[in-house]
Each structure stands twice: as structure tokens, then as C-alpha cells.
Structure 1
Amino acid sequence: MPPTHRSSSRYTRFAEVALAALVVVCPLALGGAARWLSWPLMVLAGVAAVLAGVGARRQGQSLRFPLLALPLGVGAALCAVQLVPLPAGVLRVLSPEAASLREFALEPLGLTRARPVSLEPSATWRELSKHLAYLLTFLAAVQVCRSRERRRRLLAVLVFTGAAVVLVGLGHSLLGVSSLLGLKAWEHARPPLMTFFANPNHLAGFLGLASTVGVGLALTTRPRSRALPFALAAGASGLGVVLSLSRGGIAFFVFGQAMLVLWLSRQRREEAGRSLLGGSRSTAALLGLLAVLAVGTYAVTEALWVEARSADSLEKLSQSKVALWPMMARAASAFPVLGMGRGAFEAVFPRYQSEPNPNTLTHPENAVLQVVAELGVPGLLLLAVALWAFIGLLRREGLDALEGASLAGVAALGLHNLFDFSLELPACAVAVLVVLGAVVRPRERGKEAGGPVCLTPSWGLLCAGMALTALGLVALVPGRHRLADAEAELATLVRERAPLDMVRARGLELIDRHPSDYLLYRMVASAHVARGGGEGAAEALAFINRALTLAPRDAVSHRVAAQALLALGRRSQGFLEYRLANEAGDLGVLRGEAVRQARSVEDLVAMTPDSPELAGHLVDALSNVLGRQPLALDYNGWARAHFEGRPGVVGLWKREARLRLLRKELPEAEGACVQVERLEPERLDTVLLRAEVLKGRGEGEAALRAVEALRSRNPMNVELAFTLASWQLEAGLTRRARETLHAVGGLLSDYQQRARMLSMEAEALEREGLLSRAVERRQTAARLVPSSDAYFAVARLQETLRRYDAAARSVREGLELLPPEAREPARAWVTRLESAERSRVETRRKELLDDPKAQELEHLLGDSREPAVEP
């Protein structure tokens, strides 16, 4: 049957509905981050493409394949190539990194099957489906947007979706709702504007595109009255960009508007026949948008200033995400042929991360690095083709204001993705593809020279579209496995202390599925270490070596390695791993876990970083926390000799002096103090140390005079005042201690300092016998800085005053601040106080009963203990 020529086809209308549904659903699906979005994305894209093809056949139109479709199609093909299992020799040629991972980490564990180029196959399966969906969406948009009305309707859906997102955010702000629709709270994000987007940069990118396209619709809509909704929607989306507080989003949105203004100005100069009315409308629309942005900027001026100051210098900029680009470039350079696998960046990058970072980096936040790292040199070529095709669109003759605005919005979003990754999620990606499809659609006047490739929509071509849709859906089956799910499952087994054989077996299954995820290896190693024993430690070491190969800067892996090595008796290596854990970012591991395992100076030397300050912290932990002063002194002596001539060595001499004073070794303390005075003679701490030495030698009055003189020279030093007051309390000079504290009362800057002052005043009053006033001070301090110790101090005073009921209440308040395992002594205290209160009441009652005067008074006033008699 020959094709029937019609101006419209219901199949094309249905394809338009499917595309509109994609434009709306993707932002609502948490900005495209919702897991369930992959299936409707693929279904709607496939339906739109097939229906658009059927509509083209029924209307006798040819299908167009613009140059911009090439990167999408070839990108999908590259994803498919990355998933093909390869023999070891071929894999070694195409991806030496993938081959080395197989040989080092997988084959010794018995995982010997052929491996693909992708180091995270399940993520690449998902990306294959996504690329196919994008390709079909773009081709469908190109076909549907042949009609001017359909093109405007699709773009209007984008514009009004952006405005609706902003209205949702404003509604949350007005109602004071901190969770999405009152149902979902973001776990790791605190966006300034609560919308479906958890990431403010992604929100700004989407709204910036919607606003710019809205300006184009407002400029090209006739009559003028019908343009008002588009202008208002564009203003709302622009306001949302400002309220997002995204520095990059705001900057590139302004760039997009500037680009549109320049393009309109050129058009006005080149088109002599353009009416003055059209020019005035363009100016009015842009001025209206700028007015809305000015109002929004004024409303959030303070917040914007804070954001701007966080990147107001080259130094601060170098410490931002830009500082990570060299590491990411090194990661990309390791996979030049076919990349590490589309979507594999999150799993693979820790191997090349040379600086510790507490965050998981899922994307490079740079479109070029993303493509080069995951697709290699072919990806860079595809990016160049896409850029060439886009420049061709910009140079295209006959563009109207709507097309110019669309291209300006896409250009701004593309440049923003040099510092963001919003195009990696469907919300922004689908919006861009629909907008580009509207611009590269076949022109109404026919095919132009150098235009897109035209193909007759045969049934074979339509079947190919259905096959691509089916392939995309099938790809989601192996793509359903995610890193986070695997990590959570294995972590649950380890935490619940499942049988070791079960943990190992399941761990190997998950490692086989996610071979580059270092966390899986680490969790299996942790399970072996937790079981103890030499055999378990050896097995743990085998797994943790793989984890450290995949993530050399993972602090927890170094800690697990240290535990395994210590269990095997390899102490020097174990403490070296503790040191590496500290250098990788675990700042508490040395003072917390490692120092408790140390038995000798040699152990401490092995864990000591190249920092006299950290060595001093280890001395403090040994002396103050563990009470191992002899070992602390020996280690401090080594540290002083090792760091001789370094700026921080004076701190070690100070610790030496105080440790000697603690052990009553006065000559040695005097010698250490002399060294401190030689190195830092003018410092306040040095004078205090000399006073401490005088005090240790029994010259308390001289020490006190020295501190008082120092205090007179430093009247604004609050800590010095606290020190002097504590010394005065020790000397029994309670009144002078309170005077010292009152002198700095107006200088206290926070609740911690004020609570400390009140506690010291209470101690002075308690020594003077003014217990009621001391209780008031203690209660105020406990309210300022609540803690179990503060409430218990109040309770002890109240108990001394025989206020047992009040004391019991104070103990209960302190008990709530204790961990559950430490509450039993406090409960026993409450029981004792309540018993004492009952005894006191009972004793008082008996005294009243035995006292005739009390009985007579009770008779005159009426016995309240007798029940009232109802009339």
C-alpha cells in the first residue's frame, strides 16, 4: 500500500505525549536520580521512537538522522563493546588495568572466567540502556518537532515543568517543610530550595535551560497576550536558579542570557525588515526576566554572599573540585583505548585517588574527564563530533528567537557541566535532547544541503527501533545490581557476625559481580580479623591487600591491615599500617587504637608520622589516658632527639617538664624547663611552665605571684584567668579566686567558658560553706552545657543539703545523658536518694505526731490527712 499523505497522525500525537511524559517524569523522579526511573525511561523513549516512526510512515515522511545522533548511537555501541567478555590476551591489549585486576585480585580467588573491558559491568549495562533511551528520545523528538505546534507544545511542557518545580520549592519554604512533600527527607543533602532535586547544581542547570527556552517562547508567541504565561514561567525558573544558591548554575545561567541578548542584537542588525515592535518585545521580555532575578537576588543576598566568599580567591578555588581534576586525569590516562567502562568511575577512581577525601566521588564533575575516563579516546572523538554538530546549529541560517534561546540554554548547561555532572542524570539530559530535537528538526521548506541523513521509514527500520527498545530493557536486568546494594548486604552479614564461610562465599559472589569495589574485599577481611587467630589474620591480609591495591588511600583498610599484621606478630609492619591510616585521614587511630597496642618505644617509633605535634599527642595519650608515664617519658626522649631543630620540638620539652613534675623528678623537670626557656623565652606558656616548676619545688607563693604578675600583663586572656583562679582555689584563696573570675566575666564568648566559670565559682562557694549559692551556680552551669557530670555535681551538693528529692531529679537528668551501659550506678544512686527522702519524710511525720504543740497547731488548722466527708 502506498503511504497516505496526511498533515497529522495519531501515532505522532501519541509519540508527542510520550516525550512530554519523559520531560515531566524525569525531574519528578528526584531529578532523575530515582532508581526506578530506568524502566519508564526506556519504555517511554522506545514507545515515542516507534510511534514517531509509524507516524512518519503513515504521513509519507522520511526519518531524519542528524549528526548529533551519531555520538549517542556510537556511545551505546561502545558500551556494548565494553561488556563483551574477552580472553586474557585480548584484554591485556585493550585494557591492561582490567587485565592486571583479573590476574592479581580475581584469579587467585578462583574467579577465572573471561572478563570484559568494563570494570563495573552492571553499571555499564545501565548506561547502555540509558544511551539507547537517549538515542530513541532524540530521534523521536526530531520527528515529532517537524510540526511547529508540536515543537512549541513540547518546549512549553519543559518550561512549565521548571516553573512547577520552583513553585514546589517555594511552597516548602513558605510552609517550613524540610522534607520533600512532607514524606522524604534528604539524607546527605541540605538544598537551599527543597524540590525534587537534592543537588542544587542540577536544579540550577535544569531551571536555567527551562527559563531560557521560556524566554524564547515568550518572544515568538503571537498574539502578545498569549506570551504572558511563558514569560511568567521563565521568570519563575530564573528565580529558582538564584534561590538554588548554586554559584556555577547562576554564573552560567547569566552567561546563557548574555548569549541570547548578543544573538538577538545581531539578528536585529542583520534583519533590516524586522519591526520595531518585535525588538521592543525582546527587550521587554529580557528586562522582565532581569527584574525577577534582581528581586530573587535581593531576597537571598546574604546567602549568596556567603556562597561567593567560599570561592573568592584562587587558593580557595584550588581547594575545590578543580583540585581533583589532575587525579581524575591520571585515572583517565590509564584507560586510553576503550576506557574503564561507562558508569564505572565510582568504583574505579579510588585506585587513583592520591589525596584522602571523606566523600565518595561518583563523577568527575567535568564532562570531558567523565567521557575520556569511561570511554577513552573514542569518547573524546564522540565529544568532538557532538561539539562540531552543535556549532553547526549555531551557524545555521534562518534561526528564530525560540531556536536561538534554546541553543543558548543548551550551551550554558553544557558549559556548566565542565564543573558539574547534571547531564549524567536523565532530568537534564532528556530536556537537552528534546530541545535539540526541536532545533535540528527538518525545516519546513525541505531538506537543505548538508542536512541530516534521510531514510524511508520501512518496517525493517521500525523493527530496529523496537529491537533497540527491547535491548535497552534487557540490559536493565543485569544492570539491576548496584554497588550500594552489594555493600549494604555484605556489611549486614559482617555486622550480624554471620558464619565466616557464609560471609566469604557471599563476598566472592559479590566481588565477581563488582570486581573493582574495594569495600567488598575490605569487609571480607574485617570478618576474618574479627574472628581472630593466625589463620583468620592471614586470610584477612590476602583480602585487605587487594582492597589497598584498589584504594591505596583508604584509612579503614590500613587499620584492618594493621590489626591482621599484629595478630600475625608482625608488629613493625602493623604499626606502620596504623601510621598510613593516619596519613590517609583517620586522625584518631593513633591516639585511640594504635597507642593501646604499643608495648615498647620501637612500636611507637614505627607508628610515628613525620610530625612533632602528632608525637606530642601520642605522649599525651600514653600519659593522661593510659597512665603509662615511664613509656611516655622514654618515647618523648626519642621524639625530642628525632625532631631536634624542628619548630614543634619545644612542645616535647614542655611535656617532658610536666611529666617529670608529675613523677616528682624535680631536677629533670628544671632541666627541661631551662630548655623551653632557651627556645621560647617570651611566650606565656613558658612563664606558666616556670611557675609550675616553682610550685612543684614547694614554692607555692612564688609560683602564685608569678602567675598573678603574668595575669596583670595579659588582662584579656581568659584561659590565663581560669588557670590563676584554679591555683588560687588550691591555695585556699577562695575570695581572690572569685574576684579573678568576675574580672573576666564580660570577656566570655561562649557557653562553655561561662559554664566553666560558674563551676569554679561554685567550688569556691562550697569551700566557704555557702552551699545554697553553690547549688545555684552548679544548676546554671548544667543548663548552659548539659552533661552527666554537671548534673551529678548538682546532685551531690543537694544531697549534702539533705534535699534528697531534688538530688534524685538531678541524677535522673544526668542519667539520660549517659550511654545505656553506664546507667546502672546512677540508678542505684537514685534509689538510695529516694529511700533517704522517704526516711526523712517519715521521721518528720513522727516528730510532728510526738510534739504536743505541733498536734495542737494541726488541730486548729484542720487535719488535712482526714478524708473530706461529702454532704
Structure 2
Amino acid sequence: MWLSLCALLWTAFQLVPLPREIIALLQPRAIEAADDATRLLDSASRSWLPLSLSPHGTLWALVRGGAVVCAFSAAWLLAAARERRRVLMSVAASVIAIAVVALAHLGAGAERVFGIYRQVETASSLLAPVLNQNHLSGFLAMGTPLVLGFGLEAEERGARIAWLTAAAVTGAASLIAVSRGGVASLVCGLLALGLLGLMRRKGSTAGERVTPLLLILATSVSALGLGLYVAFEGLKLDFEAGDLSKLELAGEGIGLAVDHPWVGVGRGAFSAAFVADHGARVRYTHPENWIAQWTSEWGLVLSVALIVALLIAVARAVKAAKSWPRLGALAALVSIGTHDLVDFATETAGIAVVVGALAGAALYPSREGTTSRRFHHASLGAALSVALVVAFFGWRLDRTSVSTLRHRLENALLARDHEGFQDTLSTAVALHPSEPAFFLLGGAEAGQRGDRRSIAWLNHAMRLAAEWPAPHLEAARYLALTGRYSQAFTELREVELRGPGAGAPLACEVLSRSPESVPDLIRAARADEVGLRLLDGVARCLPLDDETAIEIDRHLSTHGVPTANLRRARRSIAAGAHQEALSALPEVSDDPDVLTIRARALMESGEPAQAAILLERAVTGRERPQGILRLLARAYAQAGDAERMRATVSRLRGTAAGRAPGVAGAWVLQGNLERGLGNDGAAMQAFERANRIDPTSAGLHHVARLSEHLGDLGRAYRAHSSLCRSGEAAACAHRDRIRRRLAEPRTLDAQP
């Protein structure tokens, strides 16, 4: 327990301002960041600085760590008061509750958590109050051996069945959440419980050893069977699409620890420190590995001491454990420890507090209480002190978080509130001196005012996040506004280098205002892979017939960029020069884009059968062939082959995977093609099916038009009436027109 307090005190010490001379020895990057910030703000250099590279992040970590230490201390003291079982049962109850809530959301087909909150930054297939599916899976996997431990201890048959069923449900829910880390942690937790059970039962009879192991096996098989039955496809895809990027990230986190071995970068400051060397479009807030997290943020010395102490405490607890619930708790710690080697679930405060309580109850050395009353009083006093710190700082932190300050700065920037922006910027930079987003916004606001210091702000953002394209993009915007096109396009090349495709939209915006700057763009881009990719992106986003795009494509063609020839062929097709389009493309190619454009040219020149042959080849090269299938259906219809047209549209419906808009759209297409072939009856059936499948499709509009064309005014009237009721004013006018026609007296032809 005291080691956890030491870690918390070290976190607090990382916030204490120290003389510059000491910081220069221990954390020179902190001085560089602070001095750069004060220079940009025209303020005096600070004489006293904290060790942390992100003071606000460390304060947040202090509050969160304080909450965890409070939970750990409370569980520790309750275990000392012979209430270990109740603490562990509370943890088990929290896991079961989350599993039940998650499965209830799944069964109800809910799209919002409790019908209120819709996911914004997550896309979990299993909704629960824990939104991140990896964290949810790890939390449920952690609780499974603990719940199973209570089942193994229960003597009454009903209680045992209830606990074992709950364990199977939590384990299955862990798999349904679809997480590779969750699967690994669940397996490790169950194996750990089995091994601990064997160690505990060394002196018992064979029957006493085998029965619990059979129950563990049966529960594990039930959980795995149910989970795989529900989520096999999701897990299969997750494992197939998986990579080792998180292990690579953990290795880079260890590298950061090696660079700051003595004091670390500051608890909670990993993101600010890591972005300097690895800043890109993806911003890492954690190394997704608890060992890398501790060592990089606390330093190697303290972290190694904590890890060794934790391993010793676990070993002692394993040796002393007598009950199945405690063995389950220790197996749960193994499970969450395994999970957090590849996906850091305890970065979430709610999960971390539960894990803290679990650890406090599981690691307390003795149920009888071997420690003195003075020790308990001291522990209680320390825990209360920590609780006061949490209460004092916790509610204030969100006001000065990165996201809150960034939102305020963006609003002030949009409102052109210079004074408010500067006040907020000063606060943001003081609390987050290594956060590049604030220097980016500072540069954007200065550029908005035409202040030449914009470049200084943006250059500092580039130094803080060398791989981040945004500062280069903002610099290009400022340089273009001041007429320095060559420099602006040079910055856009840097954007393309860091974020492929990110610079082209701004380049197109600049060229639309100043088309005479095309030579500057071509010179700045250079004729290498990065430059040609930038030019290609610019040619894509400009209108096809734009003279600037045509000039860029001429340059790209001289360097053998194939997409330039594709655009040239499309221009020829638009101009009616079909043979010229065909000559611009290679005759032999397996590229789906080349095949598709050649097919379009052949269709325009009256050779749909040849076009269909090319499109059949193109379909096989596309993961999403919907566009090619539509064109192929049109080719068969143009060739008069109704059967193949219908078969192609059927293939198109198959790609919709049962989604109503896609299926209905395919029926609308078939109806239009049937009309072109003169099959009005088949067309009407297709349009009506489209409307039944998806009333929001264009099916009913086509029913109305075709009915009137065929003289079926009654059906046309009903169709327009339905559209009118849905709020379409034009349909109401058509309905009224047809009603007047229906009211007109009809004259019969004279009989011979």
C-alpha cells in the first residue's frame, strides 16, 4: 500500500516547480518548451518550472491516481477488517452488471447507451457504459475468473449454478465485444485460475482436485461456445485484420523511457512527449502497455521498483491464498495485467478504480490482520488526505483540459475575438507547454490578422510534432494569402509527405483563385513520388475540363503517371472523341479503372458487347464493385441482352448485404433498364418492389410517371397522392392535375 502512495507522491512531485538549474539537469525539454512559449507570448522566462512536460496532464493523472489509491486503500482496510469477501463480491457484481447491461443492449438492438448517448469516437458492436470495445472486453474478461471463484466456493447447488452461469455469461460477453486483447486476457485468466487451483490442492485427494478443474473447464467451454456462436465472424475478421502495431507502439514507449530514465516525462504527459518524435495524423495518448506507460512517465527507477514490489506482493498472496474467491481475484489481476500489455484498459478511470479495489482486497497479506492498529490509522489518514486532493482538484480539471481550451480557442478564432483568444491562449500554453495544437491555433489566428509572427507559431508547432501535417497546411494557407505561392506549394509538399492527400484540397483552392500559379506548383512539387502524388491529387479535385487540370495532366503524362491518361480519356469521351479515348489507354491492362473507362468509350461508340467483356474482367478486381455492376447492367441492356442484364442486377442486389436502400436502388435500376428494352410491365414490377422495400427510394416516383405514360391514371393518382402525403409539393400539383383529368367527361367513339 505504501508503494502506491509513493507513486502518487512522485506524481505530485513532478508538478512541484523547481529551480531552472535543477530542471536543466533532469528535464531539459521542459525548459525548451517553456522558453519557446514565453518568447512567442512576449512574456518573461520562468525561473521555476515543474518536471512534467504536461503539467495539466500530470495533475489529471494525480487526481485519477488518487481515486485509484483511495479505492485500493479502502479495499485494503476492509480486508484487514475481515471483509475481503464483500469487497471481492462487490467487484464481481460490477462486472456482472456491466455484462447484463451490454447483452440487454444487444438483445434490444439499441443504438444508444440507455437510449440516450450515441457513440461519437467509438464504434463498439456491444453497447455498454464502457464504450471502448477493447476496454469492455478486458474488463469482462478480468471479472470472469473472479465470478468463477465464487461459484467454486459455493456449497449450495443453486448458488453454485447461479455463479457459474454468471461466469459463463461474462466470459461470453467478453468475446462478443470482439477484441483480440480480450480473448487473450480471458484465456490467461482462466488458465491462471486452473493453475492456482492445482497449486492450492496439492495435498488434497484426486477427487477434490479434479472436480473444480472440471467445473472451470465446463464454464470456460460454455463461455467460449456462446461467445463464438454470437461473435465468430467479428472475431475472425478482427484477428485477420490485426497487426502488431500496438506492440510496436509499446516498444517505442519503452524507447521514450530510455530517453528519460531518471524522472520520466511526467505522469499523464506521454502524449505530449511522444508526439514530438511520432506526431502524425494519429495522436497516441497512451502506449497501450502498462509497463511502457509507467517507465516512460515515472522513469525507470521508480517503475522497476513498483513492478518488482507488485510481483512480490502477488507471489505472497498466491502462497497465502486459501479461498477460491481470492484465487479468482488473483487470476483476475493476471487477466487484466495481460490485457493491458496490448490494450491499456486501466487508462479509463472507472475501470482503474475497480482494479484498484480488486488489488487491495486480493493483495492484503492476511485475513486475520497481522498489521498494527497504528498502521491502519496511518493508512486511513493517508487515504483521506488523497481523497481531499481528489475532491479539491477533480471537478476543476475539465475546465482547463486540452479539449475544452481547444474548443474555446476555435470559437474565438471563428468569432475573430482577438482579445479573448489571446487570454485563452496564454492559459493554454502555460498549462500545456508541449501541446502542438495550441501553437497551431496561435499561428492560425495570427495569420487571420495578417501578423507575420504566424510563421513563428507554426514553426514551433512543427518542432513539437515533426510528423504532423496540420502546421505545414496552415503555413501554406498563410503564405498563399500573402501571395508567396512558391513557398506555399513547398509547404503543401511537406503536407503530402506526412499525410497523403491532405494538401491537394488547399492547392485546388489556391489554383482556382490564381491559375497562373500552376508553374510554381509544378516546380515546388518536384518530379518524385511525393510530388507526383500531390499533383495527381490536385488534378483529381479540379473540374475535369479545367484548363489548370489539363496542364497538370500534361506534366504528369510526361512522367508516366497512369491516372493522367485516365482523365485524358474521360475528357475525350465527354467530347465525343471515343477513338481518341481508346488510344489514350493501354489495350492490355487488368486495372479496373482502365477497363471501366475503355468500356465507357466502347458503349458510347456503339459496341456494348465488347464493353461488357471488359466490365466482367473489371468486376473481379474490385472489392466494392457496385459502380461497375451498374455500368455492366447498362451495357447488357444496350446490347439487348435482357437475361444477362437481370442477372447482373441480381449480383448488384447481393452486394447490398440486405440493406434496404441498396436493394431498392438496384430494383430502380432494373426498372429503368426494362423500360429502355420496352418491357413496361417488368419495369412497373421492379419499381413497385423498390418502393415496398424502401419507401424513401425513387421507386414510387417511377411508378407514378410510368403509370401516367401507360394511361393508368388511377394508379398514377394513388402514387402522387402518397408522395404528396409525404410532403412533396410537386407531387401534390401532379395529383391535382391528374384528378382534373379523371373528372373530365369521356366521349365514346361512334359505333359502326
TM-score higher than 0.5 here?
yes
* C-alpha displacement of 1:739: 0.6
Q: Cα 1:674–1:222, aligned 2, differ >3 Å: closer, same or farther?
A: closer
Deviation at 1:575, TM superposition (A): 1.9
- Structure 1 residue 192, shift from structure 2 partner: 3.7
**1:583 shift after superposition:** 4.2
1:743 corresponds to: 644
Q: Give yes or no for the alignment of 1:238 onto 2:163.
A: no
* The one of 116, 119, 128 aligned to 2:62: 128
Aligned to 1:142: 76
Q: Please tell me the residue identity of whatever aligns with 1:244.
A: A
Structure 2 residue aligned with 1:317, among 218, 243, 251? 243
* Residues 162/326 of structure 1: CA separation in 2 closer, same or farther (3 Å cut): closer
| Structure 1 contact 201–422 (Cα < 8 Å) conserved | yes
Tell me how far 1:417 sits from its aligned partner: 0.7
Aligned residue type for 2:171: G
Counterpart of 1:407 in structure 2 is 330
**TM-score, normalised by the number of residues in structure 2:** 0.79
- Contact 2:525–2:532 (CA under 8 A) maintained in structure 1: no
Alpha-carbon deviation of 1:456?
3.1
Task: Give me the whole-angstrom Cα distance separating, in 2, the residues matched to 1:183 and 1:294.
Answer: 31
Matches within 5 A, 1:23-34: none
Q: Equivalent residue for 1:26? A: none
Give the letter for the 2:552 counterpart.
Answer: Y
- Which TM-score applies when normalising by structure 1? 0.70
Partner of 1:509: 427
Q: Which of 487, 493, 512 is the equivalent residue of 1:573?
A: 487
Q: Does 1:489 align with 2:408?
A: yes
- Asked if 1:306 corresponds to 2:234, the answer is yes
Structure 1 residue aligned with 2:564: 652
Q: Note the residue ranges of structure 2 that are not aligned, 5 or more in a row.
A: 620-626, 653-661
Task: Identify if the C-alpha distance between structure 1 residues 254 and 501 changes in structure 2 by more than 3 Å, giving closer, same or farther.
Answer: same
| One-letter amino acid of the counterpart of residue 632, structure 1 | A
Aligned position for 1:253: 186
Deviation string 1:630-673 (CA, Å, 9 cap, x unpaired) is x33432232233x34xxxx344345446657877999xx96x97
- Summarize deviations over 1:515-574 as a string: whole Å, max 9, x none: 333333333444455x4xxx5263443333333333344444433222111012221221
Q: For 1:694 and 1:136, how far apart are their aligned partners in 2? A: 75
Matched residue, 1:96: 28
| From 41, 45, 52, the counterpart of 1:109 | 41
Give the count of matched residue pairs: 719
Cα shift at 1:349: 3.4
Compute the displacement of 1:493 (Å).
Answer: 2.9
Alpha-carbon contact 2:511-2:517 (below 8 Å) kept: no
Decide which of 318, 338, 352 is 2:263's aligned counterpart. 338
For 2:407, the aligned partner's letter is A
Q: Is the 8 A contact 1:213 1:402 kept in 2?
A: yes
Structure 1 residue 368 corresponds to structure 2 residue 291: yes
Say whether the 8 Å CA contact 1:756–1:781 is kept in structure 2.
no
Alignment partners' CA distance in 2, 1:712 and 1:539 = 60
Please give the alpha-carbon distance, in whole angstroms, between the structure 2 residues aligned to 1:142 and 1:225: 31
Counterpart of 1:60 in structure 2 is: none
Contact 2:271 2:285 in 1 (8 A): yes
* Rounded Cα–Cα distance in structure 2 between residues aligned with 1:401 and 1:777: 65
Ranges in structure 1 where 5+ consecutive residues have no aligned partner: 1-68, 729-735, 818-825, 855-871
Q: Aligned-residue CA RMSD in angstroms?
A: 4.7
Distance 2:173 2:433 in 1: 41
Provide, for residues 181-202 of structure 1, a one-character-per-residue CA deviation record: whole Å limited to 9, x for no partner: 3333333334343333212333
Change (3 A) 1:665 1:229: closer
Q: Does residue 178 of the first structure (1) align with residue 111 of the second (2)?
A: yes
Aligned to 1:547: 461
Tell whether the 8 Å contact from 2:281 to 2:499 is kept in structure 1 after alignment: yes
Post-superposition shift, 1:410?
0.9
How far, CA to CA, are the matches of 1:621 and 1:792 in structure 2? 33
Where does residue 539 of structure 2 map in the other structure? 619
Query: How has the CA–CA distance of structure 1 residues 389 and 717 changed in structure 2, closer, same or farther, with 3 Å as cutoff?
Result: closer
- In the alignment, does 2:438 pair up with 1:520? yes
Going from structure 1 to structure 2, the CA distance change for 1:801 and 1:559 (only over 3 Å counts) comes to farther
Contact 1:91 1:117 in 2 (8 A): yes
Identical positions, percent: 22
Per the alignment, residue 599 of structure 1 pairs with 516
Aligned counterpart for 2:530 among listed residues 580, 604, 610: 610
2:397 aligned residue? 479
Match of 2:278 in 1: 353
How far off is 1:247 after superposition?
2.4
Q: Which amino acid is the alignment partner of residue 275 of structure 2?
A: P
Deviation at 1:257, TM superposition (A): 1.6
Check 1:738–1:156 CA distance in 2 against 1; reply closer, same or farther (3 A cut).
same
> Counterpart of 1:98 in structure 2: which amino acid?
A
With over 3 angstroms needed to count, the CA separation of the structure-2 counterparts of 1:87 and 1:755, relative to structure 1, is farther
Q: 1:161: which partner in 2?
A: 94
CA distance in 1, matches of 2:453, 2:228: 62
More deviation, 716-725/84-93: 716-725
Alpha-carbon contact 1:724-1:737 (below 8 Å) kept: no
| Whole-Å separation in 2 of the counterparts to 1:612 and 1:599 | 19
CA distance 1:366–1:595, shift in 2 (3 Å): farther
SS in 2 for 1:184: coil
Q: Counterparts of 1:711 and 1:254 in 2: how far apart (Å)?
A: 52
The partner residue of 1:83 within 15, 21, 36 is: 15
Q: 2:555 aligns with which of 632, 635, 638?
A: 638
- Residue matched to 1:867: none
Structure 1 residue 248, shift from structure 2 partner: 1.6
* 1:386 corresponding residue in structure 2: 309
Shift, 1:366, TM fit: 0.7
Once the two structures are superposed, residues 271-309 of structure 1 have per-residue CA deviations (whole angstroms, 9 ceiling, x without a partner) of 2xx355633542353244235314423531xx2343233
Q: Distance in 2 between matches of 1:741 and 1:613?
A: 42
Cα distance change, pair 362–353 in 1 and its aligned pair in 2 (3 A): same
Letter in 2 for 1:558: H
Query: What is the deviation of 1:116?
Result: 1.7
Q: Distance in 1 between matches of 2:419 and 2:143?
A: 55
**Superposed displacement of residue 413, structure 1:** 1.3
CA distance in structure 1 between the partners assigned to 2:78 and 2:592 by the alignment: 79
**Corresponding residue SS for 2:34:** helix
Q: Distance in 1 between matches of 2:476 and 2:669?
A: 40
Contact 1:755 1:785 (8 Å CA) reproduced: no
Q: Secondary structure at the match of 2:53?
A: coil
Please say which structure displays the higher CA radius of gyration: 1
Which secondary structure state, in structure 2, belongs to the residue aligned with residue 744 of structure 1?
Answer: helix
Q: For the Cα contact (< 8 Å) 1:722–1:741, is it kept in 2? A: no
Q: Shift of residue 127 of structure 1?
A: 1.9
What is the CA distance between 1:465 and its match in structure 2? 5.1
Match of 2:331, as an amino acid?
A: A
Amino acid at match of 2:481: A
